[in-house]
Amino acid sequence: MLKKIFISAVLLIAVLSFVVSLLGGNNNGEPQAAIGDRVAVINISGPIVDGASVEQTLLGGTQAATSGQLMKEIRDAAADNTVKALVLHINSPGGSVTAAEEVGRELARFKETTKKPIVTSMGDQAASAAYWLASYSDVIYANSSTLTGSIGVYMPYMNVEDLYKKIGVYTGKIKSGPHKDILSPDREMTPEERAILQGIVNQLYGEFIDVVAAGRKMDPAVVRGLADGRVYTGKQAKELGLVDEIGNYYDALEAAGKLIGVSGVPEIKEKPANKPWQLLFEARLNDLILGQLEQALQGAGAEVNAAPVPKAER
C-alpha cells in the first residue's frame, strides 16, 4: 500500500511540474534568438536580510532581498559568459550589516575574477546597507529625488521594565554569565554593557566607512564627515561624490551597455518574478504532496518523536 501511494505522489509531482512548465515557459514553437553580449540585472528590493531565498507575495512583489538569493544571482552572472556587466537595480531602505557584508563580498569577487563593470541604478531609496552594496559599483546613477546615504550602524533595544512593574509582571533569569542577557528588555542596561555594544557598533561603522571610501575612492576622513547617519537626495549625493550621475534605470542600462561596447539599451538577463497564479499553484502542489506523504506515513503506522532542540537565544 505504501509503495502505491509513494508512486502516486511521484507521478502527481511529475504531472503538475509539467503543467507548470507549459504555463510558464516558451512553448509556442518559435525559435529562440541567439544570445549576444548582455547585462545581468539584479533587483535589490525591500529590506536586505540574511536568508536563503526571496519571499514573494501573491501579487508578485517581494517582501525582502535575501543575501542567499542575491549571492546566487551574482555567482550565476559571473559564470555566464554572455554576461559582460552587472546592474544593481536598488530600491531598499537598507537592512542587516551581515547580509550586506555577505553580498558585498560576492560583488568584490565578481569584479576581481571577471574584470567586468558594475553599475547601480537607485530608485526611491538606496540607503544604509543598500548604499553599502552600491559602493561596489563602478558607476552609480540616482534620481534627483532618490534618498540615499544614511551611512551608519545602529543596534535597537527597548526597556519595558517600568511597564512590567505597572502591570505586575516580574521576570527573572538563571544565566551562565553576567552579560548573557545583554539587551534584555526587562532591566536597565549597565554602563559596562553599553560600552560593549558601542564597541561592536563602532567596529561595524568603521567597516562601512572603509567600504565606501574604497568604492568611491574617497579619503576615509571625508567619508566619515558625511557619515553621521543622515540621508541625502540624489542631487545632494552627487554634489558630495556619493553618486556619479543623475538618471533613471534606463540611463544606467545604457551606461552599462556603453562600458561593454553596446550602443543603446543592451540585452538583459534578469531573474523573472513568479506570477501570482504560479505562487498559488505551487502552494497547492506542496499541499497535495505533503498530504500524500502524510497519508502514506499514517497508513504504514509510522510514529515520529521529535527530540527537543537546544537553543542559544536572547
At 201-247, the pLDDT tens digits run: 999 999 999 999 999 999 999 999 999 999 999 999 999 999 999 99
Q: Would you say 112 and 287 are in contact if contact means Cβ atoms under 8 Å apart?
A: no
Confidence band of 8 (pLDDT split at 50, 70, 90): low
Confidence band of 100 (pLDDT split at 50, 70, 90): very high
Q: Which of 47-56, 99-108, 299-308 has the lowest mean pLDDT?
A: 299-308
Domain 154-218 in CATH: superfamily? peptide peptidase (sppa) like domain (3.40.1750.10)
Architecture of domain 36-150+230-270: Alpha-Beta Complex (3.90)
Residues labelled catalytic: 128, 180
Global model pTM greater than 0.85: no
Is the pLDDT higher at 47 or at 284?
A: 47
d(CA 226, CA 130) in angstroms, rounded, equals: 16
Confidence band of 64 (pLDDT split at 50, 70, 90): confident
For the chain, the domains span: 36-150+230-270, 154-218, 275-301
- The grid cell for 306 is 521529535
Answer whether residue 156 shows pLDDT above 70.
yes
Q: What is the mean pLDDT of residues 187-211?
A: 95
